[in-house]
């Protein structure tokens, strides 16, 4: 399995409407923070997330959160 690529060292903060989202876990997607299929062949897969109510979400951008797909501040501990 490949290690994820750090897409950015801060969260993607955006409003999310109630829907199903596929969060990019590999960091290779061109449509961050969501999957565009770029993970194929990496051994990594996107994470399905259901948002049930409209709210502002801080999606993990570094791909190292212990609370995936949401930011937990792990980016502040990366080199």
Is 7 in contact with 71 (CB distance < 8 Å)?
no
Cα 43 to Cα 46, 63, 73, 79: the distances in Å are 10, 14, 25, 23
In a domain, 72, yes or no: no
In a domain, 71, yes or no: no
pLDDT confidence of residue 79? 80
What is the number of structural domains in the chain? 1
pTM value surpassing 0.85: yes
In a domain, 29, yes or no: yes
pLDDT confidence of residue 11? 98
Cα 18 to Cα 57, 63, 71: the distances in Å are 11, 23, 19
Listed residue (64, 57, 71, 56) closest to 27, CA to CA:
64
Domain that holds residue 42: 15-57
In a domain, 47, yes or no: yes
pLDDT confidence of residue 2? 83
Which CATH number belongs to the domain containing residue 42 in this structure?
3.40.5
SS3 23: strand
In a domain, 64, yes or no: no
pLDDT tens for the chain, residues 1 to 79: 689 999 999 999 999 999 999 999 999 999 999 999 999 999 999 999 999 999 999 999 999 999 999 999 999 999 8
């Amino acid at each position: 399995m490949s290690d994820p690529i750090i897409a950015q060292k801060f969260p993607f903060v955006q409003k999310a409407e109630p829907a199903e989202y596929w969060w990019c876990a590999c960091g290779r997607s061109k449509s961050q923070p969501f999957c565009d299929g770029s993970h194929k062949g990496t051994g990594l897969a996107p994470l399905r997330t259901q948002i049930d109510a409209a709210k502002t979400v801080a999606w993990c951008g570094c791909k190292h959160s212990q609370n995936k797909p949401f930011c937990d501040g792990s980016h502040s501990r990366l080199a």
